[in-house]
Amino acid sequence: MTDDRHFLRLEVVSPDGPVFAGDVAMVVVPALRGELGILPRHAPLVAQLAIGELRVKTLDDTWIRLAVAEGFVKVQFDKVIVLADAAELAGEIDVARAESALQRAKERLALIRDGKVPAGEEIDPYRETMALRRAKNRLAVVKKG
């Protein structure tokens, strides 16, 4: 029996709403265990997303890049749903904002490292490390795009 499904339906959703939706040729997602390439007829799957770059090959063979934060990807019946804490198309990333988020996280982590967190203030090292990673990822995606 022939199978003529040559595309995937991709939906990328963040808490703010849809970020991308369309029929595409291939999706490469940053999963916790490494990059995951998804083509039509992929087996059903649920995986956890890492902070990283999501690449989309369009039906006219160009690539679209997005920066994504943590979340999940689900694949079933040629439909790929990406639910991410944050997702931005490369062209929509605000570089100055990412640079200042990076700087802020670095400064806060330095305060912890040097034992100089002001009295009465709390800085969560995990939170700052994740903020640093998100900012670095955004800057890396912009650079490549």
User: For binding to ligand ATP (CB under 6 A), which residues are involved?
Assistant: 14, 16, 69, 86, 88, 92-94, 97-98, 101, 131, 134, 138
Q: How far is the CB of 72 from ligand ATP (least distance, A)?
A: 16
Residue 145 to residue 128: CA distance in whole angstroms: 26
Torsion of CA 80, 82, 87, 90, to 10 degrees: -20
**Residue 63 CB, nearest distance to ligand ATP (Å)?**
20
Of 55 and 138, nearer to ligand ATP (C-beta) is: 138
Nearest approach, Cβ of 132 to ligand ATP (angstroms)? 9
Question: Which residues pair with residue 8 across a beta bridge?
Answer: 24
| Selection from 104, 106, 95, 108 nearest residue 142 by Cα | 95
Q: Which is nearer to ligand ATP, 27 or 101 (CB)?
A: 101
